[in-house]
Every structure is written in C-alpha cells, then in structure tokens.
Structure 1
Amino acid sequence: MSWQTTYNKWSSFPELDPALQQQLQEMEGSEKELEDAFYKELTFGTGGMRGVLGPGTNRMNIYTIRKAVEGFAQYLKENVDNFAERGVAIAYDSRYMSKEFAVESAKVLGAHGIKAHVYESLRPTPVLSFAVRHLQAAGGIMITASHNPPEYNGFKVYNEHGGQMPPAEAAQVIAKVQGIDNELKIAVAERQEIEQNGLLNWISSEVDTAYLEELKRISKMNQASESTFDSLNVVFTPLHGTAHDMVLNGLEQLGFKDVHVVAEQAKLDPEFSTVESPNPEEHQAFTLAIEQGKQRNADVLVGTDPDADRLGVAVKDGEGSYQVLTGNQLGTLMLDYILAHTSDADKQNGKLIKTIVTTELGKAVAKHYGVETIDTLTGFKYIGEKIKEFETTADKFLFGYEESYGYLIGDFVRDKDAVQSTMVACEMASYWKAKGKTLLEALEELYGKHGFYFEEMSSLTLKGKDGAEQIAAIMDDIRKNPLTEIGGLQVKAAEDYQTSERQLIEAGSTEKIDLPAENVVKYLLEKDSWVCLRPSGTEPKIKCYFGVSSTSRQESEETLKELKQQMNDRMQSVIHG
C-alpha cells in the first residue's frame, strides 16, 4: 500500500480524533512531511517503539498505540497462562500524551476482558518492571520515550518476568501487530465501563513501598558505617521526569541527609525547557546542577533521565569544577565497589553482564575479583533475558551495565534502574570520601591497576526516509568493503552479528557468534581495541563505538582520536559519494 493510500484512509476516516484531523489539515501541501508520516509503520527496536507525536502510521498517536496494544493482547492470549485475571501493569512518564496513551492501552485491553493495573500518577520505568513481578502480572507496558526530544513519545512492552521483550517474543508481538488490517477500527472499551467492571485497577502506594523495601537490600554498607552518609553533600536533578520521589525516599531511608534538588528541574515539564536534551549522557544536562553544586560545595551531582532508567554522575575534580563521568566509568566504579564488598561465597558462580559496546575495563575488574563476564547485544532486554536464565542454573547475577548510562544491581527489577544506581553511586562516593578520595581518584586507581581503557561513541543523525536509506548504505558498504586496519591498528577479527559470524583474519577461518542476529558490525583490533557500528533502534541515528587500551593515558587518547577520524571519514564518504 502506498503512503498516499494510507494517508487518504486516515484523512477520510469520519471518526478520526479531532486533534489529529486538525494536524493533518495543517500538513496539507507538504508532501515530504506527509510521506514521512505515512510511508511506514513504527516498529519495535532495542527499546520498544518510539516516534514523533502526530498523525500517521509512522507517528505516535492513539491509533498506533491501539494497534500495538491489540497485538500485545493477542500475544498474551496465546502465550501466557491466566492472562486476563493477572492483567497488565501500565506506567507512564511526564511526556505529552503519556497518561492518555496509558489509559488508551487499558481501554484496548479492557475490550479483550484483560485487567489493566495503571498507576494513578507517573512512575519510573524500573518501577514498572518491578510492578509486573510484584503483581504477578501477565506483562507490562511503559509509555515513555526515555531521553528523546520533547516531540517524541514511546511504548515499551514487558513480559511476565518484568523484562523488556527479547527478540523471539517481540517478533511474535510484531507479527500480531502487522496482521492487523486497520488501526483506525480497533475495538476499545469505555474508561468508565472498565473501571466499573474491575478491568481498570489504579495502582496504590503499596507497590512503591515494596520497591523501597527491596532497595534497602542492595546496600553494601553495614549499620555501623551508615553514619558516613551524613557527610556526603549531594545535588540531584530528575530532569523534569519521574525519579524525584523514589530517589529522595530511597536516599532518605539509607540515611543520606545532605541532599539538594535542582528545583527548576523537579517540575514536570514535557518540553524539558531547562535543557537542550533531557539526557544525562550529554553534559549540558548538568548545567544547572553544576551551578548549584558549586554554590553548595557538593561532593557529587546525580541526574536521571525522564523515565529514570539512566543515571549520570558528576564529581569534583580538585580544581573547583565538576567532571561528568561516562557511563563506562561510572559503571566500572560501581562494579569495583560492589565486588570489593561482596563475600567470596557470594562471588562464587557470580556473573557480570555487559553489552558488546561496553568497556572491556569491566571485564578486567571482574576477572581481578574472580568473576566471569558475559557479553550480550546492545539493549538491556538482553541483560534481563540472561538474568532470567540464571533462575535455572547455578549462576548468580552480581551486576549488569551498558555504556549508555544503564545499570542494574538488584535483580528484583529486570531493566536498567537509575533509582538503584543512584543509591549505590552515592553510597560508593560516601565510602571513598571517608577514605579521603573522590570518585575520580578511585577511577585513576583502576586505570593504574588494569590499564587506560578509554571509550567514546559518535553518532550521525539521519532523519526521514532519505536518512534511513543512508544508514542502510553505510552498513552495506562496511560489509562489502571490510576494513583491514583502523587508526593504524590491524584488524584481528571482524564480527557481523547479522550473519552471526566472526572472521579470524590471521587464521583465515570463521566461527559462530552465539548471540541473536542483529544489524551490527564490530572490528576487534590489536592492543585490545575495537570499533563497532550499529544503527540505533530507537532514534534516526547510526552509532559508532570505539574502545582502546594501553598503559599510557596519552597513547590511549591518541589512538582513540585516530579511530574516530577514520570511521567518520568512511561514513561521510558513503553519504556524500
């Protein structure tokens, strides 16, 4: 079906939502804008379904939400026991249309006789993951676009184990969604009707209380040590999102008293008007926190993204300024702290889980403590899936993280959790402060012990249909014209996760990669360095990741610069011919 046919179907639909109808009328005459809105359907990526708000099959609106939920409902009927009575837990963030989409999801489920457990007000993504498990629900839905710009919203699906759906399960949901002929005519129940029939259950504070109880258990400090928490001066920003109450309650119950919130960013604001992007990965998001940190002489600054699954931390650098740690740095520091405070008995059969684009320093630290590392594809759903597997083996989950500021300590949640991570980051900072050191000094100790592992990620934003074609061309080029050296380092192996093959260059042989197929190419280089190229699953971007290692800070920095330059030149040459 052409995009024009789909557009005509929408524009002529007599019962189309009035707001969407108005937007369509405003788009008339802009063929490129209309084409982008209707040329394809939103699909599930590494973090579910995300898109720009507005009319169209390639946009987030009540009809694309209905279609996704309809497919999910059909999946539940065929795959999950007692699905109707167990129901689906639903939460949402502070974005435009988030609560509306949550209620719309409940109305579609209600039409199938499936109970919906919906939070009365916004909650963090990890608390939704916890709610699925705590309520023993058949699945979960989170309405969020995480750290995307204000014009976006999104839809994440969780399985009955509280994890984001891994590929095999997601594929079944997608097949159901794609089998729906007309998203405009999906049956929905009335809100009042499902409330009266007990099919819409508003979640009370009981689930929050249970989550906070679990949060206490991840602490590595004994009661005698907790007095040291009093001395840590913390500035916290929720970046206009969901973390405010949970983080403050969690810190209070651990004993942290000197905690200050960036008031301007505690306000729920779907425009995220105080930042260029509500993403703690980007240093500008810490501008106001840094100002307040300097005024209060804070030891650490902590910032969570709008749905509170990502955490960024900035630390005083000894010269009166603050340095924002990378996700790799913070994750490795937390790993080291956790393993240093874990008994040998608990480390036995313990596992670190990280992604293929996360620093190899983590593996070195884990090895130092006698802990094995497991690599997964990018996306925390793979870490959650691996934790689920541990329930039937002797393996024990000790820590999981990815370079994009996602961490998990306690497996009572099956997704990255910025609330948990804030607790451990502050506890860790307090521990090192008691020893007269900052987190930066603790990091230098790790470099001195294991090597200067440095990483970076660069991305190209290529929007619309043309951008999608350019991203595909870059991946096609890298496969058809493979590199033999990058930045002066020889390629030792080339991994193509789409074909699940690893080519060993010197041996001239090929071996199997035992991970799900995904559109990713990774080069393993000399000196424990690497380059990885992958299209984003949630944004119109192609991302290139870099990792280097040496015994010298200067050598690692120079090598990193050379790798980035060569890969950027290569991608630009494909785009511009």
Structure 2
Amino acid sequence: MNTDITRWLERDPDPKTREELQQLIDSNAESELADRFSGRLAFGTAGLRGIVGAGPNRMNRLVIQETATGLGKYLLEAVEDAAERGVIIGFDGRPDSKRFAHDTAAVLASQGIKAYITTHEAPTPMVAFGVKHFGAAAGVVVTASHNPPAYNGFKVYWGNGAQIIPPHDSGIAAKIDIAAKEDIKHLELEQAKQQGLLIMLSEPFYHTYRETIGQSKLLSNHTKPGSVSLAYTAMHGVGANLAEGMLEDAGFTQVYSVAEQREPDGTFPTVNFPNPEEPGAMDMVIAEAKKHNATLACANDPDADRFAVAVRTDDGDYRMLTGDQVGVLLGHYLLNHTEQGQNLVGTTIVSSSLLGKVAGSAGANYYQTLTGFKWLTNVAMQKQTDDSRFLFAYEEALGYTVGSEVWDKDGLSALVTFAQLTAELAAEGKTVWDQLEAIYRQHGLHFNAQKSIALQPDTPPIGDALRATPPESIAGRQVLITDDLKTSQKLYADGKVENIDLPASDVLIYHLDGGARVVVRPSGTEPKIKCYYEVIENMTDDDTLATAQQRAQASMDDLISRHQASL
C-alpha cells in the first residue's frame, strides 16, 4: 500500500488533497488509509459517485482526470467522429464541481476531443438535452444529485442523450483502469480555446433549453395558469432560474420561491439531506406555501432532475404526493393531451402497476423496465415506432420525463406540466385530489411502499434461498405468478413457464391474488434486501378517498409485517 500512496502523492495535481493525504500518513491513520487505497471508485451505469477526498476510493481531481482520460480513449475507439462531435460538460453547485468539470474538459481537449462546457452551474437535464441538441458523442455532468454535502459524482450520457448502459459502462471502466497506470495529459483551457477545442456554453444555451421545452406541444396547455399559485424550492441547487423562467413562460404569475434555498450552495445549510423524499426536506417550501395559501408546494432536487410536490388539502394543510401518484397523474393527463401516435408510456418494475392500467384504458402502449432511468429511456428508443412514439416515463423515486426532448428524468419540465395539470383541473372546479380519486375509482386504489431489510454480513444470498424454496403464499395470499428476472422466466402456479424480455437481474416479483405484489431485490453492494409492496383496494360508492386509503394502509401493514417475518 505504501507504494500506492507514494505514487498517488506524485500524481495528484491538487495541493489540498495531497496535504490531506500527508496528514493521514503523519498521524498513522492506518484504517483510513486502507479504506482509501483498498480499491478505486467503481465506474458503472451511473458513472462515479463517492465522498470527496484523497485517494483512489474517493472523488478528487486525479480520479476525475483518470476517468475523463478513460472516457476519451473509449469514445475515440467506439465512435468514429467522436473528436469532432465532442462532449457536453455541465456541473452542479457543490464546492469542487466546477474544478472537476474544467479538469474533464482539459483532459478531453488534450486528446483532441472538442469540449462544450457550461459557463456556470447547470441542471442535469439541460446537459442531457445538449447532447442531442449539439449531436455530441457524449455528455458529462459533475453532480452528486441529492446526496449529502460530502459527496460528488461524474455522470455520463451516451450520444443518444440517455445515460450509458452496457456495454459502454464496462468499456469505459476498462479504459479508466489503464489510465490510472499512465501519466495524465491535459491541455490548459486557454490553449484549448485557441485551438477550437473548448466552447463555452453561456446564457443563449440555457435559453435554448428553456425555449425548446416551453414550445413542446405537451407543455402548451395554458388553461388559466394565473389562477394557480405555487411555492417552489431549488433546495440549494441549480434549478431556480430555469424553473421560475419556465413557469413564467407558461403564464404562472403566482410563484413564490424559498429565498433561503434559492441559490446554489453545496453545503446545503438548511437541510440535513437534500432529497425531497427525506423527512423534513420539504418543510420550508410547505411553510412558504402556507404563507401564501398556495395550491402547490413544489421542489426540485439539487441538480433539478427530480420533482416533488405537496398539494393543499381541504383543511388548508399540505400532503406530499408519492412518486407513483405524481407519475400516474402526469401519465393520465398526458395521454389525454397528446396527438395521435404519441402513446408509448413506461415505468419500472418496482413502480406502481397503475400506469399500465391507465394506458390500457386509453388504448396506449405500455412497457416496463428494470429500475433506473437509463433503462426507461434506452428501452423507449428501441420500442417506439412511427405509429407509437414515446410520450412519458417515470420511476417511483421522483423521476419523470415528458416527451423526447430530454432522454433522462427532467424535474423542470415535470414541474411545469404538473402546474398545467393543476390549472386545468382548477378551471373545471376540481383539485388534484379529485383527479386522483377519479383514477382510483376507475382502476382501484393502488397503494405502494418500500422497506429495506438489513442482513448479517455472512447471510447467504437471499435470492438463492427464495428460489430453492419458492413461497406458495405470502401473508395469506396465494402466489399466482413469480417473475424470476435472474433466469428471465415467468413461473405460473399451475406450472406454465414463459420467457421475460428484460436483462437478467437478481430480482423476484411475486404476483398475489387480489392484485397485490411483492418485489424482492437484493442489494449488490451491501448486506440488505429491498422489498417493494403494492396492494390494490377497489373503491365502493360509499367510500371516500380517506376511507379507501385507511383500508389500503391496513392491508399494506399486514402484508409487510407478515412478509418480513417470513424472511
């Protein structure tokens, strides 16, 4: 290990991390050094993400430069005109993000690859948009999204505008491993500019994204937007200017931003965890909404690719919608506001099954993918045809994409679309809750929950144990069908077997009588399993939304407790 540390100190271009590492050496911090040098951050379909600090198992300038070198080498081999097409680079508001982005541009330029880099912080979906807009060979966003302040990341898009999937992830990773053993080359940014290898993307590019999204036919419903008020927070991220501008373009005049959270600040001083799903993260925007009696309290996460919303209730309080509820509301709305032939919608295997039923009743085409937006968009490109163009996709973790201008989740277009949906309902004398209830009355109240179970480090693979002794029932409900994505087989209780057209993954999906469903997904990185649950309650004429939800909650509690006890 000492040799690795010495070599790292010789190669590291950052005096700050060199000093940090030297202090660890001087204080004989063996366990900390072992953690930092036991391996390197793994590059996968989400790129890189990790804690900022010195060493190959952290995010730092040397790791970024090695990663950019590997990416460049792979592009030059895999894409014939990669150098001329170039790479779009953006970054969030975290302390090191701009420096990491500039290092990426300098390394790519040294390989003769043109780098387009944003002049200041940029929403992640805008960079994904830019890949297609400029016809780039790839895109990079330096962001840790909604992770805590100590983290940063390096997210990669392929030339189709979607996140990378196999084989590109492993191909890039192999080139990074080679780069880690070589001297790193970089071209000073001023030289790169002079040689035409660095192009700065300033305000006109930001405006192009704003204008293109705003002119989409899917965002052209301007039904009395002035009558709806909403509070908004960028959560110390990069979304505020574009969110406010796009809402203004769409005619929304009553928009109240949380001032304390409006500007980019990678230390996230007012939230413990800058993820809208986390308890307390929405407190300030809900307080802002209450101050103005606004209809909606809306949030983007710090890189603005996710969208969250709390909706005012009849008693003047605010209740968060789940990611599935937002997804179904948006899907239902868009399927009723699209032109003929744009009817392909999708979601993931752990998201609610309700969108599939909504799509079926609308005569639309529906697809499911593995978890992750990289699958939702790449599969959509494969499945769409001239007669069935892509319309909408979502995942339960607050990710939505409206139309095909951005082939990744886009919290900004989702924000505007949801505001337009709300305004149209208001013009009809309805609320978001009324619309949700109407959908539930037609298709059943679909109630979803997730629970992670920690396991002992020496626990045998839970998936293998479940396959060895398949459950015939769960919580007193018969298992009608088991989807085993590891073997790509759909196994019926009567012995019938069908193939599943999804990439192999260690996931088991149990379809139970009464429409309930349990998804078991072992973690690939730590000793735990994630379980996703769905129960369906049919609503009677005597039901209110509240009474049906109480019944669904009781059913869910029973399913979770009995299933987890069985594990």
Q: Residues of 1 paired with 2:399 and 2:528: CA distance?
A: 19
Q: CA deviation at 1:476?
A: 4.9
Sort the Cα spacing of 1:389 and 1:239 in 2 relative to 1 into closer, same or farther, 3 A.
same
Sort the Cα spacing of 1:48 and 1:548 in 2 relative to 1 into closer, same or farther, 3 A.
farther
- 1:422-571 alignment to 2 at 5 Å? 422-459=415-452, 473-504=461-492, 506-534=493-521, 542-551=529-538, 553=548, 554-569=550-565
> Is it true that 1:293 corresponds to 2:289 in the alignment?
yes
425-434 or 47-56, which moves further after superposition? 47-56
Q: Deviations over 1:32-78 (max 9, x none)?
A: 33333222322244532211111222211112212222221122112
Give the structure-2-normalised TM-score: 0.91
3-state DSSP of counterpart to 2:403: coil
Aligned to 1:268: 264
RMSD over aligned CA atoms reads 2.5
Sort the Cα spacing of 1:533 and 1:448 in 2 relative to 1 into closer, same or farther, 3 A.
same
Which structure 1 segments of 5+ residues have no match? 572-577
Aligned to 2:379: 386
Aligned to 1:253: 249
Contact map agreement 2:231 2:297 (CA 8 A) in 1: yes
Q: Residues of 2 paired with 1:45 and 1:339: CA distance?
A: 34
Aligned to 2:542: none
3-state DSSP of counterpart to 1:285: coil
Give the structure-1-normalised TM-score: 0.90
3-state DSSP of counterpart to 1:167: coil
Contact map agreement 2:275 2:281 (CA 8 A) in 1: yes
3-state DSSP of counterpart to 1:23: helix
Letter in 1 for 2:236: H
Q: Residues of 2 paired with 1:160 and 1:14: CA distance?
A: 31
Q: Residues of 1 paired with 2:123 and 2:527: CA distance?
A: 24
Q: CA deviation at 1:12?
A: 5.2
Contact map agreement 1:165 1:381 (CA 8 A) in 2: yes
Aligned to 2:22: 25
Sort the Cα spacing of 1:486 and 1:309 in 2 relative to 1 into closer, same or farther, 3 A.
same
Aligned to 1:120: 119
- 1:192-341 alignment to 2 at 5 Å? 192-218=190-216, 225-226=222-223, 228-341=224-337
203-212 or 270-279, which moves further after superposition? 203-212
3-state DSSP of counterpart to 1:499: coil
Letter in 2 for 1:260: Y
355-364 or 187-196, which moves further after superposition? 187-196
Contact map agreement 2:322 2:396 (CA 8 A) in 1: yes
Q: CA deviation at 1:230?
A: 0.6
198-207 or 122-131, which moves further after superposition? 198-207
Letter in 2 for 1:365: V
- 1:73-84 alignment to 2 at 5 Å? 73-84=72-83
Q: Residues of 1 paired with 2:526 and 2:328: CA distance?
A: 26
- 1:323-362 alignment to 2 at 5 Å? 323-343=319-339, 345-346=340-341, 350-362=343-355
Contact map agreement 1:50 1:538 (CA 8 A) in 2: no
Which structure 2 segments of 5+ residues have no match? 540-547
Letter in 2 for 1:60: M
Aligned to 2:397: 404
147-156 or 530-539, which moves further after superposition? 530-539
Q: Residues of 1 paired with 2:464 and 2:179: CA distance?
A: 31
3-state DSSP of counterpart to 1:309: coil
Q: Residues of 2 paired with 1:105 and 1:286: CA distance?
A: 34
Q: Residues of 2 paired with 1:479 and 1:361: CA distance?
A: 28
Q: Deviations over 1:509-534 (max 9, x none)?
A: 44322112233332222222222233
Contact map agreement 2:218 2:403 (CA 8 A) in 1: no
Contact map agreement 2:109 2:187 (CA 8 A) in 1: yes
Aligned to 1:575: none
Sort the Cα spacing of 1:219 and 1:257 in 2 relative to 1 into closer, same or farther, 3 A.
farther
3-state DSSP of counterpart to 1:289: helix
Sort the Cα spacing of 1:487 and 1:96 in 2 relative to 1 into closer, same or farther, 3 A.
farther
Q: Deviations over 1:261-314 (max 9, x none)?
A: 000010221111111211112242110011111111000011000111100011
3-state DSSP of counterpart to 1:492: strand
| Aligned-pair identity (%) | 38
Letter in 2 for 1:533: V
Letter in 1 for 2:84: E
Letter in 1 for 2:327: G
Q: Residues of 2 paired with 1:14 and 1:82: CA distance?
A: 31
3-state DSSP of counterpart to 1:47: coil
Q: Residues of 2 paired with 1:358 and 1:45: CA distance?
A: 23
How many residue pairs are counted as aligned between the two chains? 556
Q: Residues of 2 paired with 1:246 and 1:541: CA distance?
A: 39
Q: Deviations over 1:401-430 (max 9, x none)?
A: 111111111201100000100010100111
Q: CA deviation at 1:170?
A: 1.9
Q: Residues of 2 paired with 1:362 and 1:15: CA distance?
A: 50
Sort the Cα spacing of 1:390 and 1:298 in 2 relative to 1 into closer, same or farther, 3 A.
same
Q: Residues of 2 paired with 1:533 and 1:73: CA distance?
A: 38
Contact map agreement 2:214 2:220 (CA 8 A) in 1: no
